[in-house]
Amino acid sequence: MQKETAKKRPFRRSQAPKVNKSIVLVGLMGAGKTTVGRRLAKKLGLEFVDSDHEIERAADMSVSDIFSNFGEEEFRAGERRVIARLMTGKPKVVATGGGAFINEETRALIKEKALSVWLDADIDILVERTGRRDTRPLLRDGDPKEILMRLAEERAPKYAEADIKVQSCLGPHEDVVRDIVRAVNKKLSRRHNRRRFHTRFKKNTDQTGT
């Protein structure tokens, strides 16, 4: 599947796409999935959901406490169930945890049911953002920059399976939202044109020539 990478052009409000499936933001911790996701949902008139928050609500404890008390495996199992639930119902914008899209089952479900967007960011940006709060269990057992570099290398091939890739930078979050909207528009337009071609092509080739 060809990936769409957003390019900067003047944005018009009329360009906001009409989506018929959820948009799921994936990427490393600190990429801005929650902050960008809230703004994207508002732009598109959709509900916003953070999968980590949904997990915390279901467990009645924080992600950090789930990791500490029950381990990452138990957290990932709950994460899979929550994301499966979020893929049902009306279209929404979903921000996922950094490891969600790495799980094969979860990744397959997102790819089937939603439009996935990889928010990528430079390591220095991720280090700065994740350092603002001590809520990242995976960063507590070593140097955060080294851990993020390792995770980036390990996870990039999986993130690259997302439908769209957009760069998250130090500029205003609205710039990232704009880039996502444009890339989604382009992706949906391409899919629509492909479906129209296949329908017309099948109809014409099924007809008997005279």
**What contacts 123, CB < 8 A, 6 or more positions away?**
145, 148, 149, 152
Ligand-binding annotation for 202, yes or no, is: no
Ligand-binding annotation for 210, yes or no, is: no
For residues 130 and 97, what is the distance between their CA atoms, to the nearest angstrom?
Answer: 13
Q: Which of 148, 142, 26, 188 is nearest to 93 (CA)?
A: 26
Residue 4 corresponds to which tokens in the numbers above? 């769409």
**What contacts 8, CB < 8 A, 6 or more positions away?**
175, 178, 179
Helix and strand counts by DSSP (H, E) for the chain: 8, 6
Ligand-binding annotation for 165, yes or no, is: no
Ligand-binding annotation for 31, yes or no, is: yes
Ligand-binding annotation for 13, yes or no, is: no
Ligand-binding annotation for 136, yes or no, is: yes
Ligand-binding annotation for 124, yes or no, is: no
Ligand-binding annotation for 35, yes or no, is: yes
Ligand-binding annotation for 135, yes or no, is: no
Ligand-binding annotation for 194, yes or no, is: no
Side-chain-facing half-sphere of 200: CA atoms under 13 Å: 6
Ligand-binding annotation for 209, yes or no, is: no
Side-chain-facing half-sphere of 201: CA atoms under 13 Å: 6
Annotated binding site: 30-35, 52, 76, 98, 136, 155
Annotated binding site for substrate: 52, 76, 98, 155
Annotated binding site for ATP: 30-35, 136
Annotated binding site for Mg(2+): 34
